[in-house]
Structure 1
Amino acid sequence: SPGMYEAQFYKALGNRYSDYCISNVPWYNPKAELTRRVEAQFNKQFPQEKLMFHALNVGFTFEAMMIAADAFKRAGTADGAQLADALRKTNIAEHVMIGGPIQFDAKGQNTHIASACIQNRGGEPKVVLPESAAQAKPVFPVPGWQERKA
């Protein structure tokens, strides 16, 4: 998932040139209790990494596993038709990604997923919008190149 929020972007450009970039992407909710629990386990498993640099992959993979386990538990079987019916009735309120409960429409789309504005700050991606998940206020307009610290 290449983007301006990836660790390599910060390494290549340094804070002076990577800071203040804004991306609008699906993102984990850093304020959600479940996110904090996932992050604690991630840190134990990968002490040299930071969850924020793997947000999309970890968040969506974790939620996919939650959805599959929830549907299987409710269906009580691995039968495809019954699992599909259970998936259509999914309603998971506590999850890691920003947005409302995980629910699917008639076409199988998660109708409540939302995106976030992520702004690079101090070498890390920070949620600046929506306010309900924000870790910082957006800086805009951004400081000019000459005003930034090297």
Structure 2
Amino acid sequence: MLELETFKTVVASTPLVSIDLIIRNSQDQVLLGLRNNRPAQGYWFVPGGRIQKDERLDDAFRRLVTVELGTTAEFDQASFLGPYQHFYPDNFSGDTFSTHYVVLGYELMLDIDLNDLPVQQHQDYRWCTVDELLASEQVHQHTKDYFS
């Protein structure tokens, strides 16, 4: 982990690379979490997170599935949806500079009990149909972009 001030400089100066996990269950619903933190705080969003320096893509995927979902899955179980760009006017520490992510979207089929999910990044979870999430103003546009 970088020191706080160093990480602020990184976020203010460069794009971050991350993985978003588009999780579908056997009823073809999508998992959404209500974000605790900036950016996108207070919006429903798919789980995901940053890739760390010197971390292989498959290792990052496995780590994020464990940390974000409390379960395990292998990289080759997921389908690559493509690269996405996320731009936010704020950042993890406030609103004095923006955040830019280059996001790799991966879709994975998992039936997960919402009660077993971690609460560090999301305060609540729900399963939604694609039509429901596209119609909701509470679902962040960057999440909607995976389905349009």
Asked if these proteins are the same fold (TM beyond 0.5), I'd say no
Tell me the TM-score normalized by structure 1: 0.27
The structure where strand makes up a greater share of residues is 2
